[in-house]
């Protein structure tokens, strides 16, 4: 058993988490606050997308450089006398 108030609070928090997972962040906030949160989330997603795109371009450029660069010849091993 437990404190009925704390059990009710925990159930409410679990329900809110499920709703947020399904409907997105800030679903329980008032409309004005929810719009602010959604704008921040969109901005962060756009920044992350731009960062990922830049990283992919850099990775592709490095691959091209590595493929285009001639392999250095290994020096011939000297035979033991």
Query: What is the pLDDT at residue 59?
Result: 94
Which positions of the chain have pLDDT values less than 70? Answer: 1, 70-76, 81
pLDDT at 73: 65
Domains: count for the chain = 1
Residue 25 located in a structural domain: yes
What pLDDT does residue 72 have?
A: 63
Inside any domain, residue 60: yes
Q: Per the domain annotation, does 80 fall within a domain?
A: no
Predicted pLDDT at 12: 92
Q: Which of 44, 46, 45, 48 is nearest to 56 (CA)?
A: 48
How much is the pLDDT for 67? 83
């Amino acid at each position: 058993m437990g404190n009925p108030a704390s059990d009710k609070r925990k159930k409410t928090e679990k329900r809110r988490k499920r709703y947020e997972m399904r409907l997105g962040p800030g679903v329980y906030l008032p409309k004005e606050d929810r719009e602010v949160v959604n704008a921040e989330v969109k901005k962060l997603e756009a920044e992350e997308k731009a960062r990922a795109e830049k990283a992919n371009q850099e990775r592709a450029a490095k691959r091209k450089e590595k493929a285009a660069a001639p392999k250095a010849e290994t020096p011939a091993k000297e035979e033991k006398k």
